[in-house]
Amino acid sequence: MTNASVSPSVAPKTSADEIPWNKHMHQQKSVGDWIVDIVIWVLIAATVAVVIYPLWFIVVASFSDQMQVSAGNVTIWPKGFTVAGYIRVFQDSRIWTGYTNTILYTVFGTALNLIVTLPAAFALARIEFKPRRVILFLLTFTMYFAGGLVPNYLLFKALGLLDNPLVFILPGAVSVWNLIIARSFFETSIPEDLHDAAQIDGLSYFGYFFKVVIPLSSAIIAVIGLYYFVGHWNDYFTGLIYIRESGLQPLQNVLRDILLANQTNQLGSSSGGQNAMQQQQLADQIKYGVIIVSTLPLLVIYPFLQKYFNKGVMIGAVKG
């Protein structure tokens, strides 16, 4: 028996210089590449400045002496620091009632929105649900054609929703736009194999929805939840048209009343010289303070939902 001689294998050259794709990986950028990068960063910085600066200016102006603001001396930092506008806003007891009402309307309204929207979107995403296309068409139809303000008012009056807190919650229980986004997410992001496995394990549609689909849908829940939350928080029109009792008014309408009251005081003292100027300055400070008071909760909440927001929007927008 002849022992075959084993020839030493030639090890492949794996040095960085011998790998073509690695050879030029760290090559220096050309002048054209640097110019493109600079242009991109300048455009990004300009876009951020255009978006952020108006809000920052309102914050700065709300803490500044309005004489400095009117003279154009306030740009980046407050000048003549004062909190008179905020003191005037929070001295009004209606502000706390408005905050309480808005928080209740927003929390319960958003909860109802999610409870109704998610199961409806799941049902419309199931191929075996035969009427889904007809139902989706009827829902989409309402996005473009509505009865109008007067029919809605008469309907809400007949249902007993005038001067009723439920008018902020029940009529907007479902947003067709958010329903379509959630349906697209369920169709494109939840594998059908999971449903087959759930059926083998004996899960019903309800069990599959609550035990499998919902835990995998945190991104889209955060997205449409944020949409609903912002919609309820900024709901100004409902309180203006359907609510007459001051104790039921949301924050937006309370802030409007405070602002109008100070503008009225300003007009009433317009012939008072120095007093009129002080009233004008106070009204301007209250105006800036009102904007910050109404938007601050949203600015605090959004950073915690941003990662879900970006992911959910991209996934839910794959197809309609």
Length of the chain, please? 320
Distance CA 244, CA 248 (A): 8
**Structure-token match 């959004």, residue found:** 302
Cα separations in angstroms, 289 against 47, 59, 112, 216: 25, 8, 31, 41
Lowest mean pLDDT among 5-14, 106-115, 201-210, 212-221: 5-14
Provide DSSP, 23-90: HTTTPPPPHHHHHHHHHHHHHHHHHHHHHHHHHHHHHHHHTS-HHHHHTT--SSS-SS---HHHHHHH
Asked whether residue 318 carries a pLDDT value surpassing 80, the answer given is no
Q: Is 262 left (phi over 0), alpha (psi -120 to 50) or beta?
A: alpha
Mean per-residue pLDDT of the chain: 82
- For residues 187-203, give the mean pLDDT: 89
Angle at 223 between CA 218 and CA 229, to 5 degrees: 115
Asked whether residue 115 carries a pLDDT value surpassing 60, the answer given is yes
> All domains of the chain, ordered by start, with CATH?
29-82 (no CATH), 84-316 (1.10.3720.10)
Name which residue leads in pLDDT, 124 or 29.
124
Contact 225, 114 (CB under 8 A): yes
* Per-residue pLDDT reduced to its tens digit, 133-144: 999 999 999 888
Asked whether residue 7 carries a pLDDT value surpassing 50, the answer given is no
Contact 98, 236 (CB under 8 A): no
Task: Report the pLDDT value the prediction gives residue 310, as an integer from 0 to 100.
Answer: 65
Name which residue leads in pLDDT, 80 or 103.
103
Name which residue leads in pLDDT, 28 or 271.
28
Asked whether residue 312 carries a pLDDT value surpassing 60, the answer given is no
Distance CA 269, CA 53 (A): 33
Structure tokens at 233: 């928080």
Q: Is 167 exposed, middle or buried (0-12, 13-18, 19+ CB in 10 A)?
A: buried
Look at residues 229, 113, 256 and name the one whose alpha carbon lies nearest to residue 171. Answer: 113
Residue 110's pLDDT band (boundaries 50, 70, 90)?
very high
Look at residues 237, 260, 254, 264 and name the one whose alpha carbon lies nearest to residue 294. Answer: 254
Task: Report the pLDDT value the prediction gives residue 9, as an integer from 0 to 100.
Answer: 47
Structure tokens at 185: 């997410």
Distance CA 82, CA 103 (A): 28
Asked whether residue 164 carries a pLDDT value surpassing 60, the answer given is yes
**Centroid of chain to Cα 71:** 35
Task: Report the pLDDT value the prediction gives residue 78, as an integer from 0 to 100.
Answer: 87
- For residues 201-205, give the mean pLDDT: 89
Provide DSSP, 204-245: -HHHHIIIIIGGG-HHHHHHHHHHHHHHHHT--HHHHHH---
* Per-residue pLDDT reduced to its tens digit, 229-282: 999 999 989 999 999 998 899 988 988 887 787 666 655 555 555 666 777 777
- For residues 75-93, give the mean pLDDT: 84
Of the ranges 83-97, 260-274, 301-315, which is most confident? Answer: 83-97
- For residues 55-67, give the mean pLDDT: 87
Task: Report the pLDDT value the prediction gives residue 94, as an integer from 0 to 100.
Answer: 85
One-letter amino acid of 62: S
Distance CA 212, CA 204 (A): 11
Task: Report the pLDDT value the prediction gives residue 320, as an integer from 0 to 100.
Answer: 44
* Per-residue pLDDT reduced to its tens digit, 206-230: 999 999 999 998 888 988 998 999 9
Name which residue leads in pLDDT, 259 or 288.
288
Distance CA 229, CA 19 (A): 54
